[in-house]
């Protein structure tokens, strides 16, 4: 497997986890902030959609921070920000990502792109994006577990490690 394919696999894995978690939430839970200074799943989705759209649109030719992006507004739920509208933005962002990634090869990894005026190799930009998506995936899964403690586990459930071949620890003799 090449490097681009491996990174695409990881980002897709996180995308599927997020989408499975969101299916467990009602519209009210999707929009609920678990605490005053805690983002709702809706806000994290809005932010990720804004980030991914900005970073991946014209990925190889323009700065990843587009002048049209208003990052601060990504953390405010407006009247237009229904679950349906936010999920439509999410899907559009992923179509942009998918289109950009479809054209990349391992030969592109040493090319230079910019994010907020800072040069990155394509490999660095890919790693940065996978890391960002993974960070917010963890947040969404945690908020979902907090709001729906009885929801199915999307990772290995506590006490089930041995069923997945990951339960043993090596001990020194």
Q: What is the DSSP string of 159-172?
A: T-GGGGT-------
If one counts every other C-beta atom within 10 angstroms of the C-beta of residue 115, the result is: 16
- Cβ density class 135-168: b for 16+ within 10 Å, e for less: ebbebbbebbbebeeeeeebeeeeeeeeeeeeee
Provide φ and ψ at 113, rounded to 5°.
-125, 165
What is the longest distance spanned by two Cα atoms in the chain? 63
Q: What is the pTM of this model?
A: 0.92
pLDDT (0 to 100) of residue 167:
59
The pLDDT tens digits for 62-93 are: 999 999 999 999 999 999 999 999 999 999 99
For the chain, give every domain's residue range.
3-164
Residue 91 tokens, joined:
């899907």
- Give the mean pLDDT of the chain: 94
Mean pLDDT, rounded, for 11-22: 97
* Rounded distance between C-alpha atoms, residue 101 and residue 99, angstroms: 6
- Which is the CATH superfamily of the domain at 3-164? dinb family like domain (1.20.120.450)
pLDDT (0 to 100) of residue 155:
86
- The answer to whether 21 and 141 are in contact (CB under 8 A) is yes
């Amino acid at each position: 497997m090449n490097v681009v394919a491996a990174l695409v696999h990881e980002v897709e894995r996180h995308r599927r986890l997020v989408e499975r978690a969101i299916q467990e939430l009602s519209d009210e839970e999707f929009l609920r902030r678990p605490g005053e200074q805690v983002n709702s799943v809706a806000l994290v989705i809005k932010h990720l959609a804004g980030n991914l759209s900005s970073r991946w649109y014209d990925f190889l030719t323009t700065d990843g921070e587009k002048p049209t992006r208003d990052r601060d507004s990504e953390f405010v739920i407006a009247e237009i920000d229904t679950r349906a509208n936010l999920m439509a933005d999410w899907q559009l962002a992923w179509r942009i990502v998918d289109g950009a990634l479809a054209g990349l090869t391992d030969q592109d990894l040493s090319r230079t792109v910019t994010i907020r005026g800072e040069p990155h190799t394509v490999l660095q930009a890919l790693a940065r994006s996978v890391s960002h998506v993974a960070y917010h995936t963890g947040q969404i899964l945690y908020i979902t577990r907090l709001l729906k403690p009885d929801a199915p586990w999307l990772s290995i459930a506590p006490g089930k490690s041995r069923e997945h071949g990951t339960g043993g620890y090596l001990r020194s003799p």
